[in-house]
Amino acid sequence: MTGKPAGAATQNAEPGVQRCINVACASTYGLRERVYLCPRCGETLEIVCRPAAPGRPEVMRKQWTSRGAQRVLSEDPRDASGVWRYLEMLPFEENAPFVTLFEGNTPLLAAPRSAAYSGLTRLRLKHQGYNPTGSFKDTGMAAALTQAVISGARTAICASTGNTAASLAAYASRSGLQAAILLPRGQVSPSKLAQSLDYGALVLEIDGNFDACMRLVQELGDDPSIYIANSINPFRIEGQKTVAFELIEQCRWQVPDHVVVPGGNMGNSTALGKGFQELLDLGMIDRLPRLSVIQAEGAAPLARLFATLDSRKLISDEFLPEKLVPVENPQTLATAIKIGAPVSWKKALRAVLRAGGQIISVSEQEIADAKAMIGRDGIGCEPASATTVAGIKKLVAAGQIAPTDDVVAVLTGHALKDPDYMIRYHEGTLSSCSSGKEHLPPEPFAGRFRNNPKRVAATKAAILSSLERER
């Protein structure tokens, strides 16, 4: 076993260390050591970076903004990529073999209809679906594949509900590594599968769900030629945390009251929480936004656990619960978050508790209607992303979010990731079954904002009268 137990001297020239999140263990490992779970205690790891210019927030702020401004004309990843722009905050050297598809730099969009629907005066959507492969995974994959190259791996592997797969496939191709993807057969949107195939990945379909794929990937991580690119890998989190920096920059350094994200394997919530915390630690912001996570009702192990916690007792990491009861057979039409045993649950829970947020679940009907409402803002997203607006509506109704609060929802995937869901919503043929009720027939539910195609005679008069009727 390599690494250093807590307390041992950690003098090295690397721009950070990997550290076990278990405060009682706190062992550290060099950045080049290929470890995913702590070999001493089995807990997940996180990277502690040593920022290049600590204590000089003004300098970093200016530098990030000026790089962003140059991005249209520059091909330097440190200007053009929304990840590498924040190099000072990342565990990589200046001369690292940066892998990039010019990810990040996604818009923060005003969404007035979704705001009114949720009971808010104003709501903004940070749309990570504008990334190169159409989901938020790309920011983390830029960092993970760069580290895979540095570590001399031959194959990058992941378990996926579809988006991680598409992203890994693209970034592995860019970096010349083999991509191997484990998918739950028949449970991935064809659009996502199509992307992985097109980017040239080796796609392996498993008879089992995402959690079974994830367990297999963890077993395969022992092989030195194989690099795990799931969010259990702390380098993925490093890339993904840059969305917190970009968001705060877009808010002109005014911290929003709430940031709300969907929850599946819990990498995204972990990453955002880490990003905000680092800005606070460096004095670049003066408070944390309240970070809340929304799960789908049939795949909500962490929301269930959260409901049983007395958060007043959880101010210290030592009181984090030891175990999460997994959902054995998770169910949701938002297939991206059909996950019963999230690997990063403890890190995500810690981030939410530190930030004073909530973890709740929403129903299939609530997700579907929220998704259609986001569409009415001219924005669109995939079903998993719409849990955010559904969750915000619930949190406003429960008094956890005030109507005039400054709220940002993070949309994680592009609408075209799952066109079949949209067609079925607007046709009125969506139906779902809940976890634990798989023996019952699926329950159909009607979309409140259905928008069916209308058949019309091929004449000018018929078309004009249709327009008039719908105005």
Contact set with ligand F0G (CB under 6 A): 135, 160-164, 231, 262-269, 336-337, 382, 384-385, 412-413
Are residues 134 and 413 in contact, defined by beta-carbon separation less than 8 angstroms?
yes
Q: What is the largest CA-CA distance in the chain?
A: 82
In the bound state with ligand F0G, the residue whose beta carbon lies nearer, of 60 and 271, is 271
Smallest distance, ligand F0G to C-beta of residue 163, A: 3
Q: Cβ closer to ligand F0G: 161 or 242?
A: 161
- What residues does 37 pair with on adjacent strands? 44
CA–CA dist 392, 185 (Å, integer): 32
CB of 468 to ligand F0G, least distance (A): 39
Q: Which CB sits closer to ligand F0G, 63 or 131?
A: 131
Q: How far is the CB of 15 from ligand F0G (least distance, A)?
A: 24
Residue whose CB is less far from ligand F0G, 80 or 144:
144
Least separation in angstroms between CB 196 and ligand F0G: 11
| Nearer Cβ to ligand F0G (336/422) | 336
Least distance from ligand F0G to the Cβ atom of residue 337, Å:
5
Write down the least CB distance from residue 180 to ligand F0G, Å.
14
Q: Which is nearer to ligand F0G, 160 or 432 (CB)?
A: 160
The answer to whether residues 362 and 292 touch, using CB atoms and an 8 Å cutoff, is no
Q: Which is nearer to ligand F0G, 141 or 251 (CB)?
A: 141
- What spatial distance separates the first Cα and last Cα of the chain, rounded to whole Å? 70
CA 2 distance to own-chain centroid: 31
What is the closest distance, in whole angstroms, from the C-beta atom of residue 252 to ligand F0G in the complex?
A: 27
Do 269 and 263 form a contact (C-beta atoms < 8 A)? yes
299 HSE (CA, 13 A, CB side)? 32
Give CA–CA dist 369/430, Å, rounded.
Answer: 11
Answer for the pair 141, 167: CB distance below 8 angstroms, yes or no. Answer: yes
- The nearest distance, CB 456 to ligand F0G, in angstroms, is 35
264/447 with CB nearer ligand F0G: 264
